[in-house]
Chain A
Amino acid sequence: MFDEMGASRTRRTVTATARLMRALHLDGMLLAGLAAVSCFGLFVLYSAAGDNTALWFNQLARFGIGIAVMIALAQVPDHFLRMAAPAAYVLGLVLLALVAAVGDVGKGAQRWLDLGIVRFQPSEIMKLAVPMMCAWYLHQRPLPPSARDVIAVAFLIVVPVLLIAGQPDLGTALLVAAAGFLVLVLGGLSPAYLVGAVAIVGAAVPLVWHLLHDYQRQRVLTLLDPQSDALGAGYHIIQSQIAIGSGGIFGKGWTNGSQAQLEFLPERSTDFIFAVVGEELGLLGLLALLAGYLFIVGRGLLMANQCRDAFTRLTSGSIALTFFVYVFVNAGMVTGLLPVVGVPLPLVSYGGTSLVTLLAGFGILMSLYSSRKLLGP
């Protein structure tokens, strides 16, 4: 009897939660995945931050802001987002041009725009504005895109990417390019273009090499042979691999990673936090985290497939897959598979703007997903 009552109360609670979710245009499954990975991230960051608890609370606050932004964006109707896309894109371009002209220099790169109260990176806007703009351009044209459309979209992508890469912020440029490119791919870009793109990239390598800054060249060279510069550019890669490798299957234990805690691992709470996971929580911790990411990407793609028009579909799919690009570029860099590119580990790395942008992206994804019912039967 008591059991029955308990069961029914549970059922009532579940349905109430589901009703609330629906009212707020939120997706429970995606939210659960994001929450799981975020909690994991905060758990690891607490250890990586060491004595600096202020840093941890700072991140907690940013999660608060990010969640607020996510929920707020989830309430925005999809047609409004569609209309806003070109505006956001143009605004982003203007701000990027402004940064190039008058921006602050931080860590040797010109990325920040000081708005008096907040310092902020216009390139973050482009992470969302570029895929939305590409989807907006393609949504009224027949798909798969024609050659003309492909060239037009490529132009939409290349202009902001070059501006960002020139700051120089290779990581963000890469992510923005990936977001736009994924819209094209999901829209049905012919494999012939892919082959062509690869060929162009291959041909461009010597040219790009010529254009790269010295430190960027160094990063590529260092990837090929980390020991060549063990105390300089290779130091990051060597130390992060030592951290991960010495973690073994089960890890050294939370807050017990000697590489991280004794500050051998550089940027351990930001770009290299993946190594802290590997050192302290071992192979099992890494696999659990990767599984969490897979769940989020999978759920995002599933949601995108249920969308009823090209704009929502392409934008959602791009957001979900770009999220994975973050994961792979960061994890690949930290484990020594890819060159060192400044890309944070999503939901885990310390860092304000990119976290808010990420959650904003998921807010847009949820908004677009919830709109399917309005069009559906």
Chain B
Amino acid sequence: MRRVRIKDENLEQRVFLQRSLIAIAVVLSLLLLLSGRAFWLQVLRHEHYSVLSQGNRARIEPLPANRGVIFDRAGRVIAENTPSYQLELVREQAGDLDATLARLVLIGLLEQDDVDRVRRLVQSRRAFEAVPVRLQLDQEAIARYAVHRYELPGVFLETRMARHYPYGELGAHALGYVGAISENDLVRVDKERYFGTGVIGKTGVERAYEDELLGTGGYREVLVNAEGRPVTALGGQADNLRSRAPHAGRGLRLTIDIELQRVAEQAMAGRRGAVVALDPSTGDVLVFASLPGFDPNGFARGISRRDYLALTADPDQPLFNRVLRGTYPPGSTIKPVMALAGLEYQVVRPEDTIYCPGHYSLPNSRHQFHDWKHEGHGTVDMRRAVMQSCDVYFYRLANALGIERIHDAMSRMGFGAPTGIDIAGERGGVMPSPQWKKTLFKRPEQQAWFPGETVILGIGQGYWAATPLQLANATALLAARGRHFRPRLVRAFVDPVNGAVDERALQALPPVELKDSANWEVIVDAMVAVTSGPGGTAVRASRGAAYSIAGKTGTAQVYSVGQTEKYDEKTVAERLRDHALFVAFAPADAPKIAIAVLVENGGHGSSAAAPIARAVFDAYLAPGAG
């Protein structure tokens, strides 16, 4: 049975009202839920979301610090930062990247060899970032860009601070250079400090004093949108953007006198070799020349692959730092210190004479060691032996001293170990000893030390190898009569803001003390005789000097040319000539400068090397100079 219902308007209205009241109650409670949620987000968790929001909107833009300026001894600027023009490319505006790069090559603003490198660089950055494609444009390149600008969308000319070396090649091996940070560099530095900096010191002072020069980078928060694109600040947004100003790196005051350096390098022009001059009373390096040199500006500019390969392929090895890393037999230049060792160990007295027949043989041996002067020097005492560079005298002396004492004495003079100069890469050379020979060779028959090997050490040949810096160091030690300072290239730091100069303390090393200090003068007297006595080997180069010079020439034999090096015959002949050496200090009684000159394949020390030292002395010791 079915109950028939009829419509009841009153009931329906009542039900509707009741349902409406329930509905409005539900609406109210849901609104309360929403309000509660908003309260939770905006009041209780406000701090949390504020931090997230700040991180969202701001991107940190680095403000690189200016690299410290480098001055020479006299305060001349030798490394600075100059505004330079560079070409930058924005990928998303360039359209077809390959086409744009090809056009740059066509116009001559990019080299074909560098296209791949630039393309990789551009593609590793975000599409809207400006990527440098060529640094330090010259006027001509700028003009060329201006003419072709309309066909280079997305390529812009920008001004940036770039390293500049106003003296170019002068002192490049001491100063070093900066270059683009490589993956290898990133391994040894704190990446954080290089945020925003594209370059790093690669060699020389620029590398050794990187910490001081670098400075502290700053940053600035810039507003970015969700795509990371910088946008202009809106209204109140700019207020709470953080920033930190950069602090420029400290300046450096070098010990080098760039004009003296110029004298040395000009005197060496066209030659290969090294000139090192030290101030014996401080260890300051006055001249640090390795020839041929190179222009460090090329590296700071971002050297092209072709130019770099050309530099490394050059048989004259312009990138090779001969002062620090070139090791040569010191030759006769060590005769004064050998004589000093003889006096110290009382093996010989100054007045003792020998007869030099032009050759020397060990007892019970038929092998003859020849003197450079075939007919011999006749009867010579110590002074005469040094003055005329008598080989036989020093063969005998070396044999009398024996290898152990030679090794000890020469080690005290700084041979066989790095001098500890304040730039990296120095080699220690070789000061041989029986011990050294044992570690060098594996087979027992090769490990034995032969008396003949001691004999030739007397004239600075054999296993003995020294860097030009070691020779200068030993000469300075002689000049200072045993006082010894660690060679240094940086004498002071310069405050980048107020220019205040912070002089560095001298680094005195333990002095060399003789049993009889009068022996210093015996040796110095003999070295003065070299430049002024009858038959002195450097008399010609010293004639007319307004000061007294104590010096010693040397000639080092070149045994062979490296197997892998390719020279034509004429060059081979030249490369087989002896290295010319000269060590000296002046004035002899109160030395202000000690020098070592090495001219590769220069022939004789007296003719090739001594005049170069003379030129430097004249420039440094002339009234009013230095």
Binding site for B on A (CB under 8 A): 140-144, 146, 182, 185-188, 239, 241-249, 252-253, 255-256, 258-259, 261-264, 278, 282-283, 286-287, 290, 293-294, 297-298, 301, 304-305, 309-310, 313-314, 317, 321, 324, 328, 331-332, 335-337
Contacts and interface: CB of A to CB of B under 8 A. Distances in A.
Interface stretch (B26-34, B67-75, B185-193): B26-34
Given A143-B7, A186-B16, A317-B20, 19 more contacts: A182-B23, A187-B12, A241-B41, A242-B52, A248-B43, A249-B43, A258-B54, A258-B56, A263-B227, A264-B56, A283-B43, A286-B38, A290-B31, A301-B24, A305-B13, A305-B16, A310-B12, A313-B13, A328-B30
Contacts of A314: 16
Interface in B31-71: 31, 33-35, 37-39, 41-43, 45-46, 48-50, 52-54, 56-57
B41 A335 contact: yes
B19 A290 contact: no
Interface string B233-250: 011110000000000000
B223 interface: yes
Contacts of A294: 27-28, 31
21 contacts: A142-B5, A186-B19, A187-B19, A244-B42, A245-B46, A245-B50, A256-B234, A259-B56, A263-B226, A278-B41, A283-B42, A287-B35, A290-B35, A304-B16, A310-B12, A324-B27, A331-B34, A332-B34, A335-B34, A335-B38, A335-B41
B11 interface: yes
A340 to B, nearest CB: 15
A246 B49 contact: yes
A328 B29 CA distance: 11
A328 to B, nearest CB: 5
B17 interface: yes
B20 A305 contact: yes
Contacts of A297: 24, 27
Contacts of B42: 244-245, 247-249, 278, 282-283, 286
B6 interface: yes
Contacts of B235: 253, 255-256
Nearest to A282: B42
Given A142-B5, A246-B53, A264-B56, A188 B19 contact: yes
Contacts of A241: 41, 49
Contacts of B15: 143-144, 187-188
Contacts of B9: 309
**Interface magnitude class on chain B:** 35 or more
Nearest to B8: A142
A243 B53 CA distance: 7
Pairs A-B, 3 closest by C-beta atoms = A245-B49, A246-B53, A258-B57
Interface of B: 5-9, 11-13, 15-17, 19-20, 23-24, 27-28, 30-31, 33-35, 37-39, 41-43, 45-46, 48-50, 52-54, 56-57, 223-227, 231, 234-237
A337 B33 contact: yes
A284 to B, nearest CB: 9
B41 A245 contact: yes
Contacts of A259: 53, 56-57
B24 A298 contact: yes
Main SS of chain A's interface residues? helix
Contacts of A142: 5-8
B57 A141 contact: no
A371 B28 CA distance: 29
Nearest to B17: A305
B12 A304 contact: no
Contacts of B19: 185-188, 317
Given A261-B234, A332-B34, A141 B7 contact: yes
A285 to B, nearest CB: 10
A12 B31 CA distance: 39
Contacts of B38: 244, 278, 283, 286-287, 335
Given A262-B224, A262-B225, A317 B56 contact: no
A264 B226 CA distance: 5
Contact of A262 (B13, B39, B226): B226
Contacts of B13: 305, 313
- Which of A186, A241, A259, A305 is most buried by chain B, counting CB atoms within 10 A of its CB? A186
A259 B225 CA distance: 9
Contacts of A287: 35, 38
Nearest to A277: B38
Contacts of B53: 242-243, 245-246, 258-259
A128 to B, nearest CB: 19
Contacts of B54: 258
Residue among B7, B34, B56, B237 with the most chain A CB within 10 A?
A: B34
A233 B171 CA distance: 62
Contacts of A146: 5
B50 A313 contact: no
Nearest to B223: A262
B317 to A, nearest CB: 54
Contacts of B236: 252-253, 256
